Structure 1
Amino acid sequence: MKILISNASEQPIYEQIVDQIKALILRNELPEGESLPSIRKLAQELQISVITTKRAYEELEREGFIETVRGKGSFIAPQNRELLKEKKLKIIEEKLIEVVEESRLLDLTFEEILEMLKILYDEGHF
């Protein structure tokens, strides 16, 4: 499992961990039942506080992405793929609303926005 932490990001470190693990689960790179590194081990690998890693795991468990078994560790929980996809679509929708609002402030046309999106998508900026 590869997680990259950016100190330049405004997003808290625990949220970066949560988002990246969720993405790995959604892409099925972390399949149901697979074990995660211990809190202590992940903290060492990322060179961060154990408290930060613990907070990330607690958030993932609260959202139903992982299950923790006392004495055995944390594992990827069974997922409802359709529900996860729906959650991701909602996030995309919120980001697109922000793009539309910013575009209107700049008086960009729909065609200009569409052209930018097409260029970004075709170049693989995703």
Structure 2
Amino acid sequence: MDIVVSNASAKPIYQQVADQLKAAILAGELAPGEALPSIRGLANDLRVSVITTKRAYQELEAEALIDTVPGRGSFVAQAAEGLLTEERNRRLEELLQAALDYGREAGFSDGEVRERLELLAETDD
């Protein structure tokens, strides 16, 4: 996974790092139990302070997305699986709402939109 930071961004660097790691976890790119780069290693790769990467990891730990084991490193939390499911549900609802909104704008009734979704679901089986 590549993390890109920008000094030109309005967001602090630690927040950029935390946001990108969080996105990777919620997208399933980093699986529960998977080891994250060491704080020092990530700081070296990004050419930022160790304090910056430590703060990013602390943010993720506060959100229960990662667990840090002294002497062993940081790992994607097992609890992240539930967050991943929640995020996927939220995203599906957004997409379905967008489809419903589009259908209404195009003059379809809610029932017609539902029928089309059911038809699509049947053809994929």
Length-normalised TM-score, structure 1 = 0.66
Which residue matches 1:123? Answer: none
1:83 aligns with 2:97: no
Residue identity in the other structure for 1:9: S
Residue identity in the other structure for 1:77: A
Residue identity in the other structure for 1:48: V
Identical positions, percent: 56
- Mark the runs of 5 or more structure 1 residues left unpaired by the alignment: 93-110, 112-126
SS for the counterpart of 1:40 is helix
User: CA 1:58 to 1:88, structure 2 compared with 1: closer, same or farther past 3 Å?
Assistant: farther
1:57 aligns with 2:57: yes
How far apart are residue 7 of structure 1 and its match? 1.0
Residues 86-125 of structure 1 aligned to structure 2 (within 5 Å): none
Would you identify which runs of 4 or more consecutive aligned residues in structure 1 move more than 4 Å? 85-89
1:11 aligns with 2:17: no
**For residues 49-91 of structure 1, what are the alpha-carbon distances to aligned partners after superposition, in whole Å with 9 as ceiling and x for unaligned?**
00000000011001001000111000000221233447779xx
Partner Cα distance (1:87, 1:63) in 2: 18
Partner Cα distance (1:87, 1:3) in 2: 25
Residue identity in the other structure for 1:12: P
Length-normalised TM-score, structure 2 = 0.66
- Mark the runs of 5 or more structure 2 residues left unpaired by the alignment: 95-104, 106-125
Bigger Rg, which one: 2
What is the aligned-residue RMSD (CA, Å)?
2.0
User: CA 1:50 to 1:71, structure 2 compared with 1: closer, same or farther past 3 Å?
Assistant: same
- The number of residues matched between the two structures is 91
